[in-house]
Amino acid sequence: MLSALLVVGGLALVFGLLLGLAAVFYRVEGDPVADQIDQLLPQTQCGQCTYPGCRPYAEAIASGEAAINQCPPGGDETIKALAELLGVAATPLNAEHGEIAETPLLAVIDEQNCIGCTLCIQACPVDCIVGAARLMHTVIAAECTGCQLCLPPCPVDCIDMVPVKTEHASWKWPYPVVPIQPVCTDRAASMMEPPA
Amino acid sequence: MTDYLLIIVSTVWVNNFVLSQFLGLCPFMGVSRRLETAIGMGLATTFVLTLSSVSSYLIDTYLLVPLALEYLRTLSFILVIAAIVGFTEMAIRKSSPILFNVLGIYLPLITSNCAVLGVALLNVQQSHDFIESALYGMGAALGFTLVMVLFAAIRERLEAADIPTPFRGHAIGLVTAGLMALAFMGFSGLVKH
């Protein structure tokens, strides 16, 4: 009886010791998965995903609280990259969080109508609006991410979203687009719908 | 030497733990949706199975049998397996956090994978020596990995196949597993045991 207790107790002690050493040896700082997710997000800090910024959203995805389809600025490409990273199915963007802008947008303040209320400055997640109380505000175009968060707070509706003009600095090669032709029509039609 | 080869061939193909003895079906169905995950799970199980087979042999031969404590076998084997799985979990978490996330609950569940305990107990039952235990564990794990990878590859193709709605998902998975088991029965004449 005593030897049985000693054997089991001794084994448990030895394995506990080994696991304790392994825990010290294989210590993981922070959450490496959240880091990798964070790198894929667009870092606009726009908050349209309902989280305060990209990093909190990445942590929420890593812990399984949030879905991967809540990031309008990232669009389909971010959703696909996240799906690839996490090994889950890519789902279309959740319309509750906004729409994917077809063209990159830029906020422009109609300076004649601006009353200098500073409300849009407080709303801007990337601090790209400069101005002061009762003085005209303006947008630093190079910093604006086009998240549209400054539109609702403006009391005089003097902010417009305008498409970014294609200039030498902002022009990019278009992606090569190959039209996909469905081979089997009814299966292709059912694959378009999200799985039930 | 032939004996050792026979053990490997027998555990990988003829007496495959998943498809002939139906042990370890939980991860077989659970993490076989994607090929990468299946390979990761196969490697993790290979590590755990080989190591637990060897260490449970050592504990049985040098601790339990001399002290006449054979009735503690299941308990102490589970202890060994749980410790090795815990260690594997930490190592994977450090080396591949994404794989750790993807495997999720199935990684700690290797502890309760009946193939792992089954191998340890069958080693005792068939009175294998040290090298035979190691080869038996490794063969079982290789067989597990082999069918996991084959099954995951088939399932990836099934995702895109035109399957009648009531059969989609796990239903066609189980049907496929059954057909694979039938196919593996073809190996049973390969080695006279």
DSSP per residue, chain B: -HHHHHHHHIIIIIT-TTTTS---HHHHHHT-SSHHHHHHHHHHHHHHHHHHHHHHHHHIIIIITTTT-GGGHHHHHHHHHHHHHHHHHHHHHHH-HHHHHHHGGGTGGGGG-HHHHHHHHHHHHTT--HHHHHHHHHHHHHHHHHHHHHHHHHHHHHHHS---GGGTTHHHHHHHHHHHHHHHHGGGGSS--
Of the partner residues B76, B87, B102, the one whose CB lies closest to the CB of residue A11: B76
DSSP character at residue A70: -
> Is residue A70 within 8 Å of A122, Cβ to Cβ?
no
Please check whether residue A11 touches B, CB under 8 A.
Answer: yes
Q: Which two tokens stand for residue B54?
A: 């060897």
Residues B130-156 pLDDT 10s: 999 999 999 999 999 999 999 999 998
Q: In chain A, which residue's Cα lies nearest the Cα of B163?
A: A187
Task: Give every CB contact of residue B171 below 8 A, 6+ residues apart in sequence.
Answer: none
Q: H-type helices in chain A, by residue range?
A: 2-25, 32-40, 54-62, 75-86, 119-123, 185-192
pLDDT (average), residues A127-154 = 87
Please check whether residue A33 touches B, CB under 8 A.
Answer: yes
Alpha carbon of B46: minimum distance to chain A alpha carbons (Å): 19
Alpha carbon of B97: minimum distance to chain A alpha carbons (Å): 6
Of A53-62, A169-178, B130-139, the range with the lowest mean pLDDT is A169-178
Q: Give the C-alpha distances (Å, rounded to integers) separating A124 from A99, A129, A140.
A: 18, 7, 11
Annotated domain spans of chain A: 32-99, 101-166
pLDDT score at A191: 58
Please check whether residue B158 touches A, CB under 8 A.
Answer: no
pLDDT (average), residues A147-169 = 85
Which residues span the domain enclosing B104? 2-189
Alpha carbon of A98: minimum distance to chain B alpha carbons (Å): 28
End-to-end CA distance of chain B: 16
Is the predicted pLDDT of residue B94 greater than 80, yes or no?
Answer: yes
Chain B CB contacts of A187 below 8 Å: 160, 162
CA distance B147 to B28: 8
Is B101's CB within 8 Å of A18's CB?
Answer: no
Chain B CB contacts of A27 below 8 Å: 94
CA distance A77 to A80: 5
Q: Give the C-alpha distances (Å, rounded to integers) separating B51 from A40, B41, B142.
A: 38, 15, 13
Query: CATH assignment of A32-99?
Result: 1.10.15.40
Is B72's CB within 8 Å of A19's CB?
Answer: no
pLDDT score at B54: 93
Does the global pTM surpass 0.90? no
Q: Quickly name the fold that domain A101-166 has.
A: Alpha-Beta Plaits (3.30.70)
Please check whether residue A7 touches B, CB under 8 A.
Answer: yes
The complex's ipTM works out to 0.76
CA distance B66 to A105: 78
Please check whether residue B83 touches A, CB under 8 A.
Answer: yes
What's the mean pLDDT when you consider all of chain A? 83
> Is residue A163 within 8 Å of A103, Cβ to Cβ?
yes
Of A16-20, A178-182, B174-178, the range with the lowest mean pLDDT is A178-182
Alpha carbon of A17: minimum distance to chain B alpha carbons (Å): 10
Residues B81-91 pLDDT 10s: 999 999 998 88
For the four alpha carbons of B153, B159, B160 and B161, in that order, the dihedral sign comes to: positive
pLDDT score at A183: 67
Please check whether residue B39 touches A, CB under 8 A.
Answer: no
Is B83's CB within 8 Å of A3's CB?
Answer: no
